[in-house]
Structure 1
Amino acid sequence: MPAVELRLAQGTPCWVSLLTDDLPGARAFYGALLGWTYTPGPGQLGDYVRAELDGAPVAGLGVSTATGFPVQWTTYFAVDDADRTAQLVRECGGTVAVGPLQAERAGRMAIAADVSGAVFGLWQGEEHLGREAGREPGAPAWAELLTPDAEGAAGFYSTVLDRPVRSGPEETALLVDGRPVAGIRHRAELRGHPPRWRTHFVVRDAELTARHTLGLGGRVLVEPHDTARGRAARLADPQGGHFSVLEVLP
């Protein structure tokens, strides 16, 4: 799916961005694994590049300037007004760590955390409107929150993003125009990790991608397995950034 020409509806996951301590290494790894090429991003964001597929942006990669900050992927949600939504985050018990700030002409952004500490971003697109999840290999496929308080998280994101949620047997879905755009899943034990949003990328073959990850110096955290959305695997890049891959069902 190409980059959108109209701003995505509020609450839609519209962008993913990696903060790493080794940008050249991350560029090489994801370029080889997912077929990405790179162009410079907004200068206000420091050493930052946009990853592209066939000339269309799909993700951002930047350098973390915070000492001890973990290498991680961040999911951004489209919003109509980043300043207003950031204030709602605070009113609902979350925190705003960065911004809202202007990223040149690309748009206005903020980085926040929900009541359990899961980090996410807000994006008010201007020249850069973001990208909706799609089915093209290498593109973002799905966003999923793992949290010990799924009910509280569902209420938080529903209020902050002004979108309804739908509870299911395995996860709660955030809805935009009646369709699920992100999942919230209860995990009582997160094995020492804080609550977090998982980033999934489309691949043609989860087994092959897992083997390729090992060959590129990464790790396989969870072997390929069947899920309701397709065959998936949980991986880590050589710098320690966790991500998932997903064979999207027809």
Structure 2
Amino acid sequence: MSRVTANQPGGTPTWIDLDVPDVERAKEFYGAVFGWEFSAPGAGGYTFALLRGSRVAGLRPVPAPASPRPPRWRVHLATDDCDATARRVAEAGGTVTAGPLDKGEQGRSALAVDPGGAAFGLWQGGTLLGCELVNEPGSLVRNDLVTPDPAPAREFYAKVFDFTLDANQDMPDADFTFLRRPDGHEIGGIMGVPEAPAAAWGTLFEVADTDGTARRAVAAGGTAGEPEDTLYVRMAGITDPFGAVFQVGARPPAARAS
């Protein structure tokens, strides 16, 4: 278990949320899959997903999208100065699509798109630090960017967040680069996949049982790919009733304890 008690260093994935046309249906699905409970709706109907009373994600009600592009869980990267980071996004070739703006006492945020078209958010925590639990079943464990053109993405995120870039020696045949904060901590990575239809940040949730979680997702009205063992986790891709794609993964018990 990892409980977050302070704002994360700049560039760290710190919050995730999902735009949905039907919050009640989303609550049914994600409650069945992860055992989440939910807060009462706040401003604009925004609803927090709770794991043992701690906030782990958000649901935002929006009209059904006109675009055929499927929705995605949105990752928000931490910043201690949202306005300054938003300026760096623009200077590095990205686009700020909303904000920066205050979210009451909870924090200050902006939404952006990188040069390859991948959407992400910025979060300067106030009373909401971000995800209050991570790296345990039912919570966020990892975000990676998948893109058909990784070179501009690597340059962009390094400029905005001062990341260093390292190859993954465990995966010599993959076009994968670790993103590391200035303190050396790995926050995710960039995977070059030429056949990817679009650039997008992916979200991986920790689970205790990948196969069981996939079965619950199907029973709750979603779809699931066949679970498979990877180098680090047993993983399955899941699509929720609205078409949002995410992944779940179970690490070996020794890895979860570390």
2:221 is aligned to 217
Letter in 1 for 2:14: C
- Matches of 2:12 and 2:251, distance apart in 1: 19
Structure 1 or 2: more strand by fraction: 1
Q: Does 1:203 align with 2:203?
A: no
- Matches of 1:130 and 1:95, distance apart in 2: 23
Structure 1 segments (4+ residues) deviating >6 Å: none
CA shift, 1:132, in A, is 7.2
Alpha-carbon deviations, 1:69-110, whole Å to 9, x = none? 543210111011111111111111111111111111100011
CA shift, 1:50, in A, is 0.7
After the TM superposition, which residues 97-108 of structure 1 pair with which residues of structure 2 at under 5 Å, given as runs? 97-108=97-108
Q: Does 1:173 align with 2:178?
A: yes
1:194 is aligned to 198
The DSSP-based 3-state class of the residue aligned with 2:89 is helix
User: What's the TM-score once normalised by structure 1's chain length?
Assistant: 0.92
CA shift, 1:208, in A, is 1.2
What runs of 5+ residues in structure 1 fail to find an aligned partner?
A: none
CA shift, 1:149, in A, is 1.6
CA shift, 1:26, in A, is 0.6
1:114 is aligned to 114
The DSSP-based 3-state class of the residue aligned with 2:134 is coil
Q: Does 1:236 align with 2:239?
A: yes
CA shift, 1:39, in A, is 1.1
Q: Does 1:245 align with 2:243?
A: no
1:127 is aligned to 127
- Matches of 2:101 and 2:64, distance apart in 1: 18
Letter in 2 for 1:231: R
Q: Does 1:84 align with 2:89?
A: no
RMSD over aligned CA atoms reads 1.7
Q: Structure 1 residues 133 and 156, CA, compared in 2 at 3 Å: closer, same or farther? A: farther
CA shift, 1:245, in A, is 0.2
Q: Structure 1 residues 229 and 67, CA, compared in 2 at 3 Å: closer, same or farther? A: same
CA shift, 1:207, in A, is 1.1
Which has the higher mean CA deviation after the structures are superposed, 208-217 or 133-142?
133-142
- Matches of 1:157 and 1:132, distance apart in 2: 25
Letter in 1 for 2:189: G
1:148 is aligned to 148
- Matches of 1:9 and 1:107, distance apart in 2: 15
- Matches of 1:136 and 1:154, distance apart in 2: 28
- Matches of 2:88 and 2:202, distance apart in 1: 23
- Matches of 1:207 and 1:83, distance apart in 2: 43
Letter in 2 for 1:52: L
Letter in 2 for 1:239: F
The DSSP-based 3-state class of the residue aligned with 2:227 is strand
Letter in 1 for 2:124: Q
The DSSP-based 3-state class of the residue aligned with 2:73 is strand
User: What's the TM-score once normalised by structure 2's chain length?
Assistant: 0.89
Q: Structure 1 residues 180 and 152, CA, compared in 2 at 3 Å: closer, same or farther? A: same
Q: Structure 1 residues 116 and 132, CA, compared in 2 at 3 Å: closer, same or farther? A: farther
Conservation of the 8 A alpha-carbon contact between 1:103 and 1:109: yes
Letter in 2 for 1:58: V
CA shift, 1:5, in A, is 2.2
**Percent identical residues:** 40
Q: Structure 1 residues 217 and 49, CA, compared in 2 at 3 Å: closer, same or farther? A: same
Letter in 2 for 1:211: R
Letter in 1 for 2:211: E
What runs of 5+ residues in structure 2 fail to find an aligned partner?
A: none
The DSSP-based 3-state class of the residue aligned with 1:97 is strand
Which has the higher mean CA deviation after the structures are superposed, 125-134 or 75-84?
125-134
| Pick aligned residue for 1:50 from 48, 51, 55 | 48
